[in-house]
Amino acid sequence: MRYYIIIPAHNEAAYIALTLQSLARQTVLPEKVVVVNDNSTDDTEAIVNDLSRKYPWISVIEKKSDAIHLPGSKVIQAFQKGLEVIDDNYDILVKLDADLILPDNYFETIIAAFQKDERVGMAGGFAYIEKNGDWILENLTDKDHIRGAFKAYRKACFNQIGGLKPAMGWDTVDELLCKFYNWKVVTNSTLKVKHLKPTGANYNKTARYKQGEAFYSLRYGFFITAIASLKLALLKKKPLLFVDYIVGFFKAWRHKKAYLVTPEQGRFIRKYRLQKMKSKLL
């Protein structure tokens, strides 16, 4: 199976070479890797250009956007810029962050998961962060969720869910829509991806409200939003984030923020979330 990778990158000079070199070590190489240099002011572009001379399947394109790192919209707009320059001759499309080191067999294993079951729509491993010299699981999500840093999609699934939404919550709505359309989401605990920059390291106060807005835009409703907000705040070991998330939810409600899903999809999402909550309690 042929796979293409799109990597949004903004000021990633400290990490991008490590990411691309880990791709060059893959037991199954990508057909194409497009790095979208999004208004970087460091040496990101020069580093990618240098590596592209050694690895012709790497290329870089330019995008100009606001330097403020708001989660969701900025990175997916850059991803979509990459989509504009690739052809349709792929089986698997990958959205990858620019601060990762993947195990050498990562994509060989991902491809095997897609080949084993034609209903697998998404596949991925798990993120690990360095702490006190050890690499530990970046435990911010359930074990059946694929982190936004490394998303691999079967082409038919990617097209059916309508691609990725340029908004906070994109890496949750994609999986929920996969399930809505009866695709499977597969995670593999043996695939340990080193995440070199902690999630949210560049987010500001405004960005923290975005999580609550995301819950609103997914049509969670207040009850599910409150449970999800409390869980995420505790996982991040920052209980006061719960208040930010709830404030963000009501900001979105007050301003009638656009939803990311249809009413029918929203009903499915609420039912699915409630079932998961019940299964954990029981």
Q: Which residues of 161-172 are buried (b: 16+ CB within 10 A; e: fewer)?
A: bebbbbbbbbbb
What is the count of structural domains for the chain?
2
267 and 190 belong to one structural domain: no
Question: Which pLDDT does position 139 carry in this prediction?
Answer: 74
Q: How many Å apart are CA 218 and CA 54, to the nearest integer?
A: 43
Which pLDDT belongs to residue 205?
A: 62
pLDDT at 199: 62
Q: What is the pTM of this model?
A: 0.89
For residue 253, the SS3 value is: helix
Question: Do 20 and 131 fall into the same domain?
Answer: yes
Of 142, 175, 195, the residue at which a domain comes to its end is 195
Question: Do 189 and 247 belong together in one domain?
Answer: no
On whether residue 209 sits in a domain, the answer given is yes
Token pair recorded at residue 77: 């707009």
Measured CA to CA, the distance from residue 149 to residue 47 in angstroms comes to: 20
Together in a domain, 152 and 267: no
- Do 188 and 251 lie in one domain? The reply is no
Specify whether 248 is located in the same domain as 275: yes
- Alpha carbon distance 157, 146 (integer Å): 15
Domain assignment present for 200: no
For residue 92, what is the domain's CATH number?
3.90.550.10
Q: Name the stretches of the chain with pLDDT < 70.
A: 65-72, 140, 199-206, 282
Whether residue 151 sits in one domain with residue 57: yes
Number of helices and strands in the chain (H, E): 10, 9
21 shares its domain with 87:
yes
* Whether residue 224 sits in one domain with residue 85: no
Q: Are 16 and 44 in contact, with CB atoms under 8 Å apart?
A: yes
40 and 22, same domain (yes or no): yes
- Domain stop point among 160, 195, 230: 195
C-beta separation of 261 from 218 below 8 A: yes
- Greatest pairwise CA separation for the chain in angstroms: 56
In a domain, 96, yes or no: yes
Domain membership of residue 177 as a residue range:
3-195
* Residues 265 and 165 grouped into a single domain: no
Residue 231's CB is within 10 A of a number of other CB atoms, namely 15
Domain contains 121: yes
Residue 189 lies in a domain: yes
Let me know whether 23 and 116 are in one domain.
Answer: yes
Domain boundary among 195, 214, 242: 195
